[in-house]
């Protein structure tokens, strides 16, 4: 196993710098425990890049991303740019395209210590363990756009190749989990949905040990709240995956608990970021929830850096801190970002979080 890695940090906007800074502290403790050396470089993305560099992500930053072992990102977006010709989010889309990141993995787990924080009944949540896999390169986000005062359109396009490669990620993930893939589409009214459904069914033939079912996106949204335990791996397209994973944040009680990984072909740097947004309304107040970013770092060690030992250590550190009651306001607590971070570090340093 490798013992040194170079990480590109892209804190971004709003609370991004706070949660990335907290996560770096945890990563350093975990890496030291396992005898691993981490080096970092920090660059700008999103609104901060627009202000200071004139574009949401510079070519130099993209080159730094390609040369790194992995990218840890905070958040992008700020209302100052809502009506501008270029939005901060364009930087993230360009980063994903540059690195060839086509599969977004978003695990959603009901954490026992937080069952009471959700608005959903504990008996519905207990035992929930879902992996949402969202396609990242196609669909309405990347299609040809028309925008005017009286008419606007977003063209949604998918190719067979795009669907096949993300479907294989889902089926391979299911083989190591509970052996079930739910493919979510809108095949009853959308041509892209019908292509999606037929191609996924073809790929399923390569994985005889995995059970496939197809669910329309509106029904999937209902089942996520009414019966989330019916899902193992959810496979879906770009727009639907964005919406469903945000909805799924209500299962653990807050978007502040959901990590994600955006992956391309093996050997290319992955992008790891919390599912939540930049939350400019609470930026600088010291109350941002760092757990999702810390858990994203755990995914980074597992999926891009090949160090599942460090990933497991970070995850155990988070679990112990939560069980000990360290919670930010969004999950029903009164602790600040620094208190939560030091709790994870303290358990790790004590050998209870990182073993």
pLDDT digit string, tens, across residues 75-88? 999 998 988 889 99
Distance between CA atoms of residues 202 and 173, nearest Å: 17
pTM: 0.92
User: Vertex 202, ends 196 and 203: CA angle to 5°?
Assistant: 90
pLDDT at 82: 83
* Residue in 13, 44, 158, 186 annotated catalytic: 186
Domains of the chain, CATH where assigned: 1-101+259-355 (3.40.718.10), 129-250 (3.40.50.2300)
Parallel, antiparallel or unpaired: strands 103-109 and 129-135: antiparallel
Annotation says 141 is catalytic: yes
Mean pLDDT, the chain, integer: 94
Is residue 28 annotated as part of the catalytic site, yes or no? no
- pLDDT for 259-288, tens place per residue? 999 999 989 999 999 999 999 999 999 999
* pLDDT at 353 (0 to 100): 40
Mean pLDDT of 127-134: 96
59 is catalytic: no
In this predicted structure, the answer to whether residue 354 has a pLDDT above a threshold of 60 is no
Token couple for 287: 């109350």
150 is catalytic: no
Quick: pLDDT tens for 179-204: 999 999 999 999 999 999 999 999 99
Q: Using the structure block, give the residue that is written with the tokens 């941002």.
A: 288
Q: What six digits make up the tokens of 354? A: 């990182």
Helices (H), 304-336: 308-323
Bridge partner residues of 343 (DSSP): none
Q: Which of these is catalytic: 141, 154, 229, 309?
A: 141
Which residue is catalytic, options 28, 129, 154, 246?
A: 246
∠ CA 312-317-322, nearest 5°, is 125
Q: Which position among 13, 232, 242, 330 bears the catalytic label?
A: 242
Residue 242 annotated as catalytic: yes
Which CA distances in Å does 280 have to 53, 165, 338?
20, 36, 18
CA 58-64-70 angle, 5° bins: 120
């Amino acid at each position: 196993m490798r013992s040194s890695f170079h990480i590109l940090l892209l804190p971004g906007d709003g609370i991004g710098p706070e949660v990335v800074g907290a996560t770096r502290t945890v990563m350093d403790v975990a890496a030291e425990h396992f005898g691993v050396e981490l080096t970092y470089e920090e660059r700008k993305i999103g609104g901060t890049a627009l202000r200071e560099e004139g574009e949401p992500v510079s070519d130099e930053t993209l080159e730094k991303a390609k040369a790194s072992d992995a990218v840890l990102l905070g958040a992008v977006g700020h209302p100052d740019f809502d009506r501008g010709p270029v939005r901060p989010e364009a930087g993230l889309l360009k980063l994903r395209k540059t690195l060839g990141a086509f599969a977004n993995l978003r695990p959603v787990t009901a954490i026992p210590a937080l069952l009471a924080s959700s608005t959903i009944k504990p008996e519905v949540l207990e035992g929930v363990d879902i992996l949402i896999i969202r396609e990242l390169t196609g669909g309405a986000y990347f299609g040809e756009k028309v925008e005017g005062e009286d008419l606007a359109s977003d063209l949604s396009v998918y190719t067979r190749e795009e669907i096949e490669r993300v479907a294989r990620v889902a089926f391979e993930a299911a083989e190591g989990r509970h052996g079930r893939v739910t493919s979510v589409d809108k095949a009853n009214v959308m041509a892209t949905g019908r292509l999606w459904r037929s191609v996924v069914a073809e790929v399923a033939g390569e994985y005889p040990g995995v059970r496939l079912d197809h669910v329309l996106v509106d029904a999937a949204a209902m089942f996520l709240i009414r019966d989330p335990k019916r899902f193992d791996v959810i496979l879906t397209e770009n727009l639907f995956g964005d919406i469903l994973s945000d909805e799924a944040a209500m299962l653990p009680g807050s978007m502040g608990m959901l990590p994600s990984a955006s992956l391309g072909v093996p050997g290319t740097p992955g992008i790891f970021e919390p599912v939540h947004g930049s939350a400019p309304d609470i930026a600088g107040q010291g109350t941002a929830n760092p757990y999702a970013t810390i858990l994203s770092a755990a995914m980074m060690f597992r999926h891009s850096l090949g160090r599942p030992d460090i990933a497991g250590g970070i995850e155990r550190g988070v679990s112990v801190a939560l069980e000990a009651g360290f919670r930010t306001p969004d999950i029903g607590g009164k602790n600040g970002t620094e208190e939560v971070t030091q709790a994870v570090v303290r358990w790790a340093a004590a050998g209870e979080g990182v073993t």
